[in-house]
Amino acid sequence: MKIHNFSAGPCILPQEVFDKMAEAVLNFNNSGSSIMEISHRRADAQEVIDNAIQLVKDLMNVPDTHEVIFTQGGASLQFVMVPFNLMKLNGGKAAYTETGAWAKNAIKEAKRMGEVNVLASSADKNFNYIPKGFSIPSDVDYFHCTSNNTIFGTQMKSFPNSPVPLVCDMSSDIMSKPVDVSKFDVIYAGAQKNMGPAGSVVTIVKKDILGKTGRDIPNYLNYETHIAKGSAFNTWPVLAVYGVMLNLQWLKNLGGVPEIAKRNVAKAELMYGEIDRNGMFTGTAEKEDRSEMNATFVLKDESLKAEFDKMWKEAGISSLNGHRDVGGYRASMYNALPIESVQVLVDIMKEFETKFG
């Protein structure tokens, strides 16, 4: 049976990525060696990371003022690297918005290193909306926001004009729609949603903001280290980056970010249309802040949970359960999820309404 994979991440990737990865694990580029056993310094390995970096630049129209690096440790290590690289040693201050679990963790790390001004929070309504109307002070070292909140199903639809460096955690919606990279000073994203398998992080950083904090930054935590070494400061995660390269090639071949953005809008409209139409369900996020990546919804009548769960599982749908902080259901519709899978879910929701409504 075909599996419809709504996992919140690591998540569905295109079948051609699986096919090409399996081939490379056995025989990389017809070299007779597995991609798992070659030195990261070999010319054909170097091509992998160079291609992956170039694909990020091409797909996101990264200007020459910025550089793209691959590191490890997930967004969680970026929460640490951002203040190390941008927050002044003496009198360091930063502004954050608190829009969910990951934003909270980012704030926690910054607070260890300086003063943090939380400009706005949606904690009062379990993070079901994106706060607006705040102003960013001009006396902080940077402003940090989270573009998409997987757990709560909210997404920023626009970004503020910031008087200070603008930093954004785009882990769960990078490359889902066009963004103007020139507006940002740092964009980072764990690869395991729209970019590839778990095990690497992409950071896009404006070069001229670095080296100004007065901090003696550990080498691995210093963006300048990775820029200077072309992301090969130490052994990079070859399998993970190869997976990203394959996935970004797939995205480029199908028309890049503008094309995938159209598909993502169509999927989200289909999904939210059904949530709003169907009397059995309620969406949990404020409509204007709904995420195109993660649709969160609950049953109006929780006593029907066993029946609904049985129906979607029998249809081959997997990983639809909501996060424990929200409950209910979460349909994650990352780039590689075909609209056909959303249609299967919508059909099940309609059938559920017919049977139990």
Q: Which residues are designated catalytic? A: 102, 169, 193
Q: Which stretch binds a copy of itself (CB under 8 A): 202-210, 218-226, 279-287, 289-297?
A: 218-226
150 is in an annotated binding site: yes
* Helix and strand counts by DSSP (H, E) for the chain: 9, 14
Hey, which residues between 157 and 216 contact a copy of itself (CB under 8 A)? 190, 192, 196-199, 216
Among 29, 46, 51, 105, binds a copy of itself (CB under 8 A): 105
What's the order of all strands across the beta sheet hosting 143-146?
66-71, 201-206, 186-190, 166-169, 143-146, 93-98, 115-121
192 is in an annotated binding site: yes
Show the tokens assigned to 44: 């054909």
User: Does position 7 bind a copy of itself by CB under 8 A?
Assistant: yes
Distances (CA, A) of 81 to 71, 85, 167, 174: 11, 6, 12, 19
Burial of 352 (0-12, 13-18, 19+ CB in 10 A): buried
Dihedral angle sign, alpha carbons of residues 259, 260, 262, 266? positive
Among 211, 218, 255, 357, binds a copy of itself (CB under 8 A): 218
Dihedral angle sign, alpha carbons of residues 261, 263, 264, 266? positive
Find, among 193, 96, 107, the residue nearest to 150 by Cα.
193
- The site for a copy of itself, by CB under 8 A, has a size of 62
225 is in an annotated binding site: no
User: Does position 135 bind a copy of itself by CB under 8 A?
Assistant: no
Phi, then psi, of 50 in degrees rounded to 5: -60, -45
> What is the contact mask toward a copy of itself in residues 255 to 294, using x (rule: CB under 8 A)?
----------------------------------------
Q: How far is CA 331 from the centre of its chain?
A: 15
Please, what is the minimum distance in Å from the beta carbon of residue 109 to a copy of itself?
6
43-60 vs 238-253: helix axis angle to the nearest 10? 40
Q: Residue 278 or 319: which CB sits closer to a copy of itself?
A: 319
Binding residues for L-glutamate, by number, are 41
- Positions in the binding site for a copy of itself (CB under 8 A): 1, 3, 5, 7-13, 17-19, 21-23, 25-26, 32-34, 36-40, 42, 71-77, 79-80, 105, 108-109, 112, 190, 192, 196-199, 216, 218-221, 233-240, 243, 318-319
**Annotated binding residues:** 41, 75-76, 102, 150, 169, 192, 234-235
